[in-house]
Amino acid sequence: MKAADSISGQQLRDMLSTATNWLEKSSTEIDALNVFPVPDGDTGTNMLLTMRSSVEEAYRAPDSSASAVAQAFAKGALLGARGNSGVILSQICRGLAQGLKNKESFSAIDLADALKQASVSAYKGISNPVEGTILTVMKDAAAAADEQVNNGVTSLVEVMEAAVNAAAESVANTPKLLPILRKSGVVDAGGQGLYTILDGVLRYLRGEAEQMQFRKPQLVASSLPQQGRVQPPSPVDEVPYGYCTEFMLQGEKLVSDAIRNRLEKKGQSLIVVGDDNTVRVHIHTNDPGSIVSYAAKLGTMHQISIRNMDEQYQDFLEMQKERGVAVETGTVAVVTGDGLADVFTSLGVAAIVPGGQTMNPSTKEILQAVKSVVAEKIFILPNNKNVVLTAKQVHSLTGKVIEVIPTETIPQGIAALLSFDYEADFETNTKLMTEAKDRVKTIEITRAVRSAQLNKLKIRKKQVIGLLNGELLEAGSEPRDVLDKILGKLNLKTAEIVTVYYGADTPADEAERVSTGIHDQYPNLQVEVVRGGQPHYNYIVSVE
């Protein structure tokens, strides 16, 4: 779809379906983010099943208005909610539906209001809200969207972009708010799941639904430095976790507040949400029998689930042992430009060594970065051909296991990181990352520091020049023209994604125009623009 000023009910269905499919692509990775105790150890799966139930109900809406679709979506979420995260997600859906009530279609202002109501609804459903969770992420996303409309923004895409960016930042900050996340070195799983859903919505609004089939969501990395291997506390020191008890209660004149008040002292992590006829209950308790007995007097119980969390905790400990390779491995990257440093950090790099063209770091600087990472197995990404040999000297200077992936450009380094498999061992990841770097093409647009004659090109000092995979191919007066000429030399029929990283001296609006021009000329490509902040280079472009 093209960017629109409003979204109809049918588009809302498609948008939610697209977001659900996007979540499905990373549900397993989100599951792996859970830390003990593991009462709802399948956060990604639970959120996915909840979203599927919602979408199925949305397609059964009695009419095609945005209001009817949203109401049906919320109903499906309540009926299909799984686990703690699924129940909270159902409350978010309920708030969205309230915000879109009586709307045939909705605008950016309506969307911001619905997100705000989603946050209020989510907090209201929790007896003891905890910050650093999906609740915080929803609140921060809603606040960002609200700020946009208050500043006069009327574009759905721009409002959603602000919400998604705020959600990503909020997810990265969750370890600062929750000690257990900080201790385990992960972000909140529920917050990550919500971010992925919101990101799926944004990509739909941008018209990227088809390209999403060939892409995969990226997990948000913690904003705190990597702490190395997770060391879960010994279960000997812990009190029993009891039973994760959840069910759906159907009856007449049910009062959620009264049920919540009755159950508050019977356990932890209590969530009671619903309406007069249907209530969803989730609680961690040592006495599930008393909970079930009480609820049975109020109505008919369905979807009853009682799970032993102590057994789940033991499973979690075993899982941590099996996944030890992931948290024992760290990555050091040589990067220049604050925007690019943010990109590498968001992809999980444990330490950044400032450097690149005109500023090659020393072996000592790379060694210091390696020493700063707790992990005992380290991948080094030089991201510059002049740094590869320097990086290889580190191996003899440390007792850590070092593998230099010989990336010669920034896009190669990013491609290598994206191929990293947290389930694979060190040797397998070495192979995956090395192969991945060779699949990406790199275009670099800069200015000549001296006059020269190379590759049949007569180049003047300060003239714009363009390189493809390090080979000088073009020269001209304007960065955009040189970039277009090099793109024209490539077979872009088989390419899928072009990512434009613009430099410190390149205005953002100019970069956007370049992006638009590429998309107009090659409509089959997904074009992304990222602020790299790199010096000397107007553009560093990745073609995959």
CATH number of the domain where residue 216 is located: 1.25.40.340
* Residue 469: Cβ within 10 Å count: 15
Q: Render pLDDT for 62-97 as a digit per residue (tens, 0 to 9).
A: 888 999 999 999 999 888 877 778 888 989 999 999
Task: Give pLDDT, residue 184.
Answer: 66
Task: Give pLDDT, residue 310.
Answer: 64
Domain of residue 304, residue span: 238-316
Residue-wise burial string across 385-413, b where 16 or more C-beta atoms lie within 10 A, e elsewhere? eebbebbbebeeeeebebbbbbbbbbbbb
Q: Are residues 295 and 332 in the same domain?
A: no
Which of 82-86, 190-194, 200-204, 245-249 is predicted least confidently? Answer: 82-86
Could you check whether the bond before residue 232 is cis, i.e. omega within 30 degrees of 0?
no
Q: Are residues 339 and 404 in the same domain?
A: yes
Q: How far apart are CA 520 and CA 4, in angstroms?
A: 18
Q: How far apart are CA 326 and CA 373, in angstroms?
A: 14
Task: Give pLDDT, residue 448.
Answer: 86
HSE, CB side, 13 Å, CA atoms: give it for residue 489.
16
Residue 409 lies in a domain: yes
Mean pLDDT to the nearest integer, 325-346: 82
The structural domain count of the chain equals 4
Asked whether the predicted pLDDT for residue 231 surpasses 80, the reply is no
* Residue 516: Cβ within 10 Å count: 12
Asked whether the predicted pLDDT for residue 322 surpasses 50, the reply is no
Last residue of some domain: 166, 194, 227?
A: 227
Is this model's pTM higher than 0.75 or not? no
Task: Give pLDDT, residue 113.
Answer: 96
Residue 353 lies in a domain: yes
- Which two three-digit tokens encode residue 306? 């009682």
Burial class (CB in 10 A: 0-12, 13-18, 19+), 104: middle
CATH number of the domain where residue 451 is located: 3.30.1180.10
Q: Render pLDDT for 130-157 as a digit per residue (tens, 0 to 9).
A: 899 999 999 999 999 999 999 999 999 9
Q: Are residues 300 and 350 in the same domain?
A: no
Last residue of some domain: 282, 316, 350?
A: 316
Closest CA to 162 of 98, 115, 92: 115
Task: Give pLDDT, residue 359.
Answer: 75
Mean pLDDT to the nearest integer, 306-331: 60
Task: Give pLDDT, residue 49.
Answer: 87
Q: With contact defined as beta carbons under 8 Å apart, do 269 and 263 qualify? A: no
Q: Are residues 82 and 169 in the same domain?
A: yes
Q: Render pLDDT for 340-370 as a digit per residue (tens, 0 to 9).
A: 988 888 888 988 998 876 678 888 889 988 9
Closest CA to 260 of 268, 248, 272: 272
Task: Give pLDDT, residue 333.
Answer: 94
Residue 233 lies in a domain: no
Last residue of some domain: 410, 437, 464?
A: 437
Q: Are residues 407 and 536 in the same domain?
A: no
Q: Are residues 249 and 146 in the same domain?
A: no
Per cent of the chain over pLDDT 70 is 90
Closest CA to 534 of 342, 355, 337, 345: 337
Task: Give pLDDT, residue 225.
Answer: 57
Q: Are residues 210 and 93 in the same domain?
A: yes
- Which two three-digit tokens encode residue 174? 């969750």
Q: How far apart are CA 69 and CA 49, in angstroms?
A: 18
Task: Give pLDDT, residue 239.
Answer: 43
Q: Are residues 210 and 268 in the same domain?
A: no
Q: Are residues 273 and 242 in the same domain?
A: yes
The beta strands (E) that lie in 62-170 are given as 105-106
Q: Are residues 23 and 98 in the same domain?
A: yes
Helix ranges (H only) for 178-253 are 179-184, 189-205
Residue 60 or residue 180, greater confidence: 60
CATH number of the domain where residue 387 is located: 3.40.50.510
Mean pLDDT to the nearest integer, 414-442: 90
Q: Are residues 422 and 302 in the same domain?
A: no
HSE, CB side, 13 Å, CA atoms: give it for residue 325.
12
Q: Are residues 469 and 433 in the same domain?
A: no
The residues, any chain, with a CB within 8 Å of residue 362's CB and separated by 6 or more, are: 390
CATH number of the domain where residue 257 is located: 3.30.70
Which of 98-107, 115-124, 316-325 is predicted least confidently? Answer: 316-325
